[in-house]
Structure 1
Amino acid sequence: MLAYVVKNIGFLSFGHWTDHPSSATRSASDALLQAIELAVAAEELGADGAHFRVHHFAQQHSSPFPLLAAIGAKTSRIEIGTGVIDMRYENPLYMAEDAGAADLISGGRLQLGISRGSPEQVIDGWRHFGFSPAAGESDADMGRRHTERLLKVLTGEGFAEPSPNPMFPNPPGLLRVEPHSEGLRERIWWGSGSNATAVWAAKLGMNLQSSTLKDDESGKPFHVQQAEQIELYRQAWKDAGHRREPRVSVSRSIFALTEDRDWQYFGRDRHSSDQIGNIDAKTRAVFGKSYAGEPDELAKMLEQDQAIAAADTLLLTVPNQLGVEYNSHVIESILTHVAPLLGWR
């Protein structure tokens, strides 16, 4: 008998839009409204999560909280989240207010993925948002500093001295930002691209998001390096003495070839392989391959992926510009035809 494994399966959308006849997503409005529609459809199909990438200065999703709040109001069960928000751009207190509001609207379903960020569309884009590293600090350091501030604010502890002449009566003691959503602090995820930042995230009590790329730290296949990163993270979590069990997600491009249009779009990905590239002048990265095949073939490929096996959550990166109906089909194909073969439920 097949041993069943609890595996949360959601989707991750970059929210691209292109004003081109071949795109089903022509505008920012299309991208946002279709994201809501896809999240509703995914919940109806039995998926566990709807997650969205955040990029600034690009024709992609950039301002997540209105979108997450809208999805939270339209759904009742599915987790909603990001993968990831670039903390170099964020005011931690304002972010805590936005996140708290979105989490309360959704009934505590927010899974907030944050990180230092990724290669940008513009030079030092965070400067345009009013942020600059402190003396002797890199932009990555600044992002981590913003993160530590956010985590402290999300505890709900008061820190601000109340005015002696407030407009409205204050509760006793120091004040916190409002609205505060209890439990959100434990649903913060760090998008880690290296072993060292995964260990750092564990020490701070954040869940781990490991994406489809990471620093190439050993030359081993991507999924092996990622599984090793997850193992280091879990050991660091244990060493830190946290009481709850951490969560770990990985994201993958996975396509079950069940009809002609699947073969047309993704048949070539049957022969995909890891790629090596440079994120910047200093960082060599390994990019994970895409998976495509008929369900039986695809299941055999996926069961060899050590990082998927090690994670409790799998995010399917979806080609959002192919439209809501096709992306619903992509998600349904994995849930219906592939997950049962792997013993996932």
Structure 2
Amino acid sequence: MKKIGFLSFGHWANRQGYQARTASDTLLQSIDLAVAAEELGLDGAYFRVHHFAAQLGSPFPLLSAIGAKTNKIEIGTGVIDMRYENPLYMIEDAGSADLISGGRLQLGISRGSPEQVIDGWRYFGYEPKAGETDADMGRRKALEFLDKLKGVGFAQPNPYPMFPNPPGLLRLEPHSAGLRDRIWWGAASNATAVWAAENAMHLQSSTLKFDESGKPFHVQQAEQIRLYKEAWKKAGHTREPRVSVSRSIFALVTDQDRYFFGQDTKSADQIGYIESDKRAIFGRSYAAEPDQLIKELAGDEAIREADTLLLTIPNTLGVDYNVHVLSSILKHVAPGLGWR
């Protein structure tokens, strides 16, 4: 059995054939899709976060709106780039969204990846400290976020406050108990996966990682997951770790499916470079008739290692078509692989 959710990049563009042509379209359709996904029986609605792009950049209003309109589905991100964040303000936003949803937030964070502009976090007012890289800054902010998210008081109260204070040092409000245990780290390397385990974060392993061995993507990703699980056990954490992987999977059951995805050119791993000098491997897409799809997915080692599968969706094709995409996986593929 696996938890199955969707992961939306939240694109919009004024193009022929697109159902999401504006930011408003994407935001409102994201809410509708999450509601429909819950009705289908999916376990999660997750959203990418990118700045300076025609994509979703401010997740908490969207997550709160979805939380208010749904009852069971997990709501998350994959991932928030911590280089752009004020950890303390983010705690207030995250706490509010989690309380609105009744404790269903599954928050994916990371040190970030290349963005649309050079050093975009500088425009947000952030600079690495002396001797830090921007990646170091992202991890430092993540640790501060995790620490203050525990809800322990740390701020000296004003002796003459506007409103009466409780005794002792003050914490950030609203505090959502349990949210600290539902933070995930998006890891692109084996080392950062181990670091995530040591710091008691769940693991999000996406559709790319640094190419550290030359092996097929799903094999490298499975090795990363096993290293993470070993590090979690070694750290002595008492709760169970969770691991998600993301995949583009399309069951070709209609002529429209075959038109959109029947000639998929990404049916093999791709090699590229991120941050100009780091060799990365990008996982393949899966698009086939259901019986063939089941055979191909059965050989994906990383999916077998993970407890959660996030299906990346073509959000620009609209809510109805994406409901079809998701329901096709649940109906025609998941039972054959023992996921349902």
Shorter-normalised TM-score: what interval? Answer: over 0.9
**Secondary structure in 2 aligned to 1:223?**
helix
TM-score, length basis structure 1: 0.98
Instruction: Give the conservation status (yes or no) of the 8 Å contact 2:266–2:284.
Output: no
Q: Quick one: which of 51, 74, 77 aligns to 2:46?
A: 51
Q: Measure, in 1, the Cα distance between the counterparts of 2:236 and 2:154.
A: 26
Q: Quick one: which of 6, 15, 27 aligns to 1:11?
A: 6
**Secondary structure in 1 aligned to 2:334?**
helix
**Secondary structure in 1 aligned to 2:237?**
coil
Unaligned runs of 5+ in 1: 1-5
Amino acid at match of 2:3: N
The match for 2:188 is 193
**Secondary structure in 2 aligned to 1:140?**
helix
**Secondary structure in 1 aligned to 2:310?**
strand
Amino acid at match of 2:77: T
How far apart are 1:343 and its partner, in Å? Answer: 1.1
Q: Quick one: which of 69, 78, 83 aligns to 2:78?
A: 83
Cα deviation digits, residues 172-221 of structure 1 (max 9, x gap): 11000000000000000000000000000000000000000000000000
The match for 1:72 is 67
Moved over 3 A (4+): none
Instruction: Give the conservation status (yes or no) of the 8 Å contact 1:40–1:71.
Output: yes
Amino acid at match of 1:45: L
Cα deviation digits, residues 90-119 of structure 1 (max 9, x gap): 000000000000000000000000001111
The match for 1:147 is 142
Cα deviation digits, residues 123-166 of structure 1 (max 9, x gap): 10000001000000000000000000000011110000000001
How far apart are 1:22 and its partner, in Å? Answer: 2.0
Q: Does 1:298 align with 2:293?
A: yes
Unaligned runs of 5+ in 2: none
**Secondary structure in 1 aligned to 2:7?**
strand
Q: Give the alignment of 1:23-172 within 5 angstroms.
A: 23-172=18-167
Q: Quick one: which of 320, 323, 330 aligns to 1:335?
A: 330
Amino acid at match of 1:224: V
**Secondary structure in 2 aligned to 1:135?**
coil
The alignment covers a number of residue pairs equal to 340
How far apart are 1:270 and its partner, in Å? Answer: 7.9
The match for 1:248 is 243
The match for 2:315 is 320
The match for 2:206 is 211
Q: Measure, in 2, the Cα distance between the counterparts of 1:26 and 1:135.
A: 43
Instruction: Give the conservation status (yes or no) of the 8 Å contact 1:190–1:208.
Output: yes
**Secondary structure in 2 aligned to 1:269?**
coil
Instruction: Give the conservation status (yes or no) of the 8 Å contact 1:270–1:292.
Output: no
Q: Measure, in 2, the Cα distance between the counterparts of 1:212 and 1:20.
A: 26
The match for 1:273 is 268
Instruction: Give the conservation status (yes or no) of the 8 Å contact 1:252–1:314.
Output: yes
Q: Measure, in 2, the Cα distance between the counterparts of 1:30 and 1:23.
A: 10
How far apart are 1:271 and its partner, in Å? Answer: 6.9
Instruction: Give the conservation status (yes or no) of the 8 Å contact 1:208–1:247.
Output: yes
Q: Does 1:225 align with 2:231?
A: no
How far apart are 1:281 and its partner, in Å? Answer: 2.3
Q: Measure, in 1, the Cα distance between the counterparts of 2:237 and 2:209.
A: 26
Q: Measure, in 1, the Cα distance between the counterparts of 2:110 and 2:297.
A: 27
Amino acid at match of 2:333: V
**Secondary structure in 2 aligned to 1:95?**
helix
How far apart are 1:21 and its partner, in Å? Answer: 2.0
* Percent identical residues: 74
Q: Measure, in 2, the Cα distance between the counterparts of 1:290 and 1:324.
A: 21
